[in-house]
Amino acid sequence: MTKWTKLLTTLILASTATISQADELMVAVAANFTAPMKRIVEQYQQETGDEVKVSFGSSGKLLAQIRNGAPFDIFLSADQKKPIALEESGDAVSGSRFTYAKGTLVLWSADNGVNVEEKLKQSDYSKLSLANPRLAPYGEAATEVMDKLGLNGSKGSWVMGENINQAWQYVASGNAQLGFVAMSQIMQDGKIISGSSWVVPETMYSPIRQDAVLLKSAADKPAAKRLLQYLRSEVAKQQILAFGYSLDS
CA angle 91, 248, 132 (to 5 degrees): 60
Q: What's the number of domains the chain is made of? A: 2
Q: For residue 103, what are the β-bridge partners?
A: 208
Is 5 domain-assigned?
Answer: no
- 218 and 138 in one domain? no
Is 2 domain-assigned?
Answer: no
- Along the 249 residues of the chain, how does pLDDT read in single tens digits? 454 444 433 333 344 334 445 689 999 999 999 999 999 999 999 999 999 999 999 999 999 999 999 999 999 999 999 999 999 999 999 999 999 999 999 999 999 999 999 999 999 999 999 999 999 999 999 999 999 999 988 899 999 999 999 999 999 999 999 999 999 999 988 899 999 999 999 999 999 999 999 999 999 999 999 999 999 999 999 999 999 999 976
Is 248 domain-assigned?
Answer: no
Classify residue 78 by its DSSP letter.
S
Is 8 domain-assigned?
Answer: no
Is 153 domain-assigned?
Answer: yes
Q: What is the pTM of this model?
A: 0.85
CA 166 distance to own-chain centroid: 14
Helix (H) or strand (E) holding 241: helix 234-242
Is 9 domain-assigned?
Answer: no
- 236 and 156 in one domain? no
- 218 and 197 in one domain? no
What is the domain extent for residue 128?
103-204
Residue 175: CATH number of its domain: 3.40.190.10
Residue 102 burial (CB < 10 Å; 0-12/13-18/19+)? middle
